[in-house]
Structure 1
Amino acid sequence: MEQRLSFVTLAVPDLAAQRAFYVDGLGWTVELEEPGEVVMIRVGERLVLSLWAQEHFEAEVGPVQQGPGLVPITLAHNVATAGEVDTVLADARAAGSRDVSAGARRAWGGYTGYFADPAGFRWEVAHNPGPIGQSVL
């Protein structure tokens, strides 16, 4: 198996809210859509974010875990400067994110903040000045 990731699929309870957040709020472009079932957005040269209505996800993959706390995954969006972190966090707030943290300097030398999409998935917005961070810009 090649060392690569092709799709990140998120099972979401309200597909319309997710679509509105990413497409209408953040201005992302839909690559493929099956109304009421899935919205696919190309987020990299060979990477697609798939927002899948939870009931359709469960019918194919199985039941999702439910309960208190955060979904145990973060998605990350790296940017070139600390100022861009603050700009993206403001964009997420304007798009309707109810849970946006302020950007903060981190012990490892970067600057990051977080926002949540309507389903609660957390996005880290990061300026990572090190080689690994620069390699993904």
Structure 2
Amino acid sequence: MDQRLNFITLAVPDPSASRRFYAEGLGWEPAFEAEGEVVFFRMAPTIVLSLWRADAFEAEAGRLNREPGTAPVTLSHNVPTPEEVDSVLAEAVSAGATLLAAAEDRDWGGRSGYFADPDGYRWEVAYNPGPIGEQIMRAAGLLGERRSAG
């Protein structure tokens, strides 16, 4: 099996409400929609975020864990500067997200904060100054060949 991730599927109670948050609130463009059933957002050339109606998800993939607590999934949106962590968190909250942890400088050298979308899925917004963070930002076209000092 190749080392690859292509879909992140979130089982949501109301795909239309979830679509409003991502498309209208955050300004993301759906790549495919079956109204009230599923919405796809292309995140990168080979990665798609899928918001799938929870009962249809359960019928195909099995029973959802509906116990209280935090789902063991965090999605991450990386940004090329520490300042953008704060602005992306503010944009998400403005669109209807719940701020879970304000942005702060981390022991690992970056900056991050967390929000939950209207269905409770946790997103980390992070600036990662390390090699992997830089590679991701360069692949996304958000950095030039060299990061400037300072």
* Short-chain TM bin: over 0.9
Cα deviations by residue, 1:89-120 (Å, 9 ceiling, x for unpaired): 01001100123421001111110000111111
Map of 1:72 onto structure 2: 72
Map of 2:106 onto structure 1: 106
Q: Look at both structures and tell me which one has the larger radius of gyration over its CA atoms.
A: 2
What is the percent sequence identity of the aligned residues?
55
Q: Does 1:28 align with 2:28?
A: yes
Cα deviations by residue, 1:21-53 (Å, 9 ceiling, x for unpaired): 100000000000011110000001110000001
Task: Please tell me whether the aligned partners of residues 92 and 100 of structure 1 are also in contact (alpha carbons under 8 angstroms).
Answer: no
The alignment covers a number of residue pairs equal to: 137
Map of 1:129 onto structure 2: 129
Task: Please tell me whether the aligned partners of residues 99 and 116 of structure 1 are also in contact (alpha carbons under 8 angstroms).
Answer: yes
Pick 1 or 2: higher relative contact order, CA cutoff 8 A, min separation 6. Answer: 1
Q: Where in structure 1 do 4 or more consecutive aligned residues deviate above 3 Å?
A: none
**Secondary structure, counterpart of 2:68 in structure 1:** coil
Q: Structure 2: state its 5+ residue gaps.
A: 138-150
Q: Structure 1: state its 5+ residue gaps.
A: none
State the alpha-carbon separation in 2 of the partners of residues 97 and 116 from structure 1. Answer: 6
Aligned-pair Cα RMSD in Å: 0.9
